[in-house]
Chain A
């Protein structure tokens, strides 16, 4: 795009040359500058939203960080519920994990698929250093630095193959490492006759955190989440965020990003690429291990399968959604995904979420127009008509919709066909038909597309009510996948990620 602007505008060169390249008469904005800034100007959004974006751009990073921490501190004030506070704790852990992964993937450009193993190593290391398993009970102030170091060393060791491996090869080696960790974790109750990891039963009765001789119990009064843990992880998050921010602005940060851009050029420009790769691995691993200590202490137990592939996918989703390479982006990604995963647990909440996403998506795609009205109106009529036909044939065809009440649920009960006892073939057939029709939709253009859109959306609602609500766990991941696909199309570089250019 920008690369050949000079060539394209060459006819102008003679005319403007005298004023741009020579002497004191050159104007404030020359032709070169206008061309170079053209991309910026175009990328900038117009209207009130664009103006807001401009304003927000001026806010310094530490102000955002302070705001975020202030909001997080308000959570316990606003919510009495131990559940909400615990969710806030989990989200801060996700934020830490995303920050760590961002060092390896976003800055170092290394595809590390073993990342959550370091989280597990941190949790297990903390467990072994502060439980009855070996009878070791080190004070927290010693354990945490020790665990962070263990994590960093593990990162260095796993990073060693990256001296020779990049891209796909590195990905598969690190993925193997994660599997190795899981295997050792689940079978570690009999490693050469020693019980090291407690096997699938995990390690139990782990000490809580404790500072200055005072224990920080994981729960207060009857098993309610101790909010002090939220403050502890928030403090850790701030330290990690600021430290990484400073590293990113230093020569090491520049070197990491250089090696992501072009390892050979970085090496030839005097940067020890192999060492830098190892260092980014160690950094990511250390942060993951640190997060592991808090979780082990809070749960007072560790199990190998908590550090498995679903978690890996979630953390990657956060980084990719937020914009790999942008610290603020991955934090926002972690918050969004964390909240989303929680909302999707409850059928009532997830139903509202599902339909609002569909309606908002329609509004975004069609704007407020006649077409939007036509689609929504058509959808309503289509559903009501189908529902009454099915109801007239047999009552049991439409009476299946149960679950929580509420406006949305009531409306759906009168709109979507939900049989009382759906035949076994309905789930797979409707699901596959939906995917096929959605793909078919991309081939259509113009009004035909709008017409076909109506039954496709209805089918989506049908699948949601009949298939997905019945199985919340896979549904969460399917929704995550759909969001990722949508983002890939709308914002390929993530929410806050800079647009990246490969070769032009």
Chain B
């Protein structure tokens, strides 16, 4: 990769819940246009990392810099407006709203018609509303036939599991982000859908130009998409590099498989 600017930069970030350190002095950066995967066993602190970057949690130590300025201490919606959007491991769609409304709702941050203009349905408000609708349809069209046509007016709960994951990504992109955080996008998918999502993530970078940080357990996906892989265990970075480097790192093997249970006393 050419030398690029750091888009996201975590500097010595720690996060503790009471006495429990979930993230411990983590340095991690993602360059503009890069796809970085975070791997690690359950409880390694991967989702906590996402919660820190998006402002759901506040780090107890360290600083988080996005696009050259610190985003530490900002509210989640302010961070989203700066250009970071995420999906959730445990899907958190607006289930009782339609597919299109789910995506349209996420345009809130970069639109501005106030309540009074909405009440009067001014020309500007209606224009903006049309733009939001077009934006939503464009974002949904990114997923090809999967989220098209008649599905737009269906409630989100009527979607299949795989389509809900796709809708979460569509919703995240409707915030017009520079960077996407994807939390286990292939979880619960069958091999064919996993293949699709791998191609889709690559397409999100090449066609839409997003920088992507992704948590994933499926090593085929990680191998297929990553420029760089970061392995976490107990909140500490234990390896970083290309997929081959990380996958063969003794520390990573140890974190996943243990040090050989038989040898323990």
A interface list, Cβ under 8 A from B: 2-7, 20-21, 33, 36-37, 39, 243, 246-247, 249-255, 257-258, 261-262, 264-273, 279, 283, 498, 500-504
Contacts and interface: CB of A to CB of B under 8 A. Distances in A.
A252 B108 CA distance: 8
Contact of A270 (B106, B118, B150, B157): B106
A500 B96 contact: yes
A316 to B, nearest CB: 20
A79 to B, nearest CB: 34
Interface stretch (B33-41, B87-95, B225-233): B87-95
22 contacts: A2-B157, A2-B158, A3-B160, A4-B160, A7-B161, A39-B158, A243-B119, A249-B118, A250-B115, A250-B125, A252-B114, A255-B105, A257-B105, A258-B105, A264-B92, A265-B92, A265-B94, A268-B56, A269-B171, A270-B110, A501-B96, A501-B157
B56 A264 contact: yes
Contact of B115 (A33, A247, A249, A500): A247
Most buried by A among B80, B108, B121, B159: B108
**B interface secondary structure, majority:** helix
Contact of B118 (A250, A273, A504): A250
Given A6-B160, A36-B150, A250-B125, A270 B108 contact: yes
Interface in B71-97: 75-77, 80-81, 85-86, 88, 92-97
Most buried by B among A2, A246, A249, A254: A254
B103 to A, nearest CB: 10
Contacts of B44: none
Contacts of B65: none
Interface in B97-123: 97, 101, 104-111, 113-115, 118-121
Contacts of A267: 56, 75-77
A273 B157 contact: no
Given A2-B160, A255-B105, A262-B92, 17 more contacts: A2-B158, A2-B159, A6-B162, A6-B163, A250-B118, A250-B125, A257-B94, A257-B96, A264-B56, A265-B93, A268-B76, A268-B85, A269-B77, A270-B81, A270-B108, A271-B108, A503-B95
Contacts of B113: 250-251
B83 to A, nearest CB: 10
B76 A251 contact: no
A211 B92 CA distance: 51
Contacts, number: 139
B145 interface: yes
A265 B183 CA distance: 13
A247 B120 CA distance: 9
A251 B95 CA distance: 17
A268 B132 contact: no
Contacts of B145: 20-21
A352 B247 CA distance: 79
B234 interface: no
Most buried by B among A250, A253, A255, A264: A250
- How many interface residues does chain B have, given as a range? 35 or more
Contacts of B159: 2-3, 36
Nearest to B177: A270
Most buried by B among A249, A265, A500: A265
A243 B114 CA distance: 13
Contacts of A243: 119
A33 B149 CA distance: 10
A413 B128 CA distance: 68
A272 B75 contact: yes
Given A267-B75, A270-B77, A271-B108, A252 B115 contact: yes
Contacts of A279: 115
Shortest 6 CB-CB contacts between residues of A and residues of B:
A270-B109, A250-B118, A6-B160, A270-B80, A261-B94, A265-B92
Contact of B96 (A4, A261, A272): A261
Contacts of B14: none
Contacts of B155: 498, 501
B77 A246 contact: no
A10 to B, nearest CB: 8
B75 A257 contact: no
A504 to B, nearest CB: 6
B119 A269 contact: no
Contacts of B223: none
A257 to B, nearest CB: 6
Contact of A254 (B101, B120, B121, B162): B101
B119 A247 contact: yes
A255 B96 contact: no
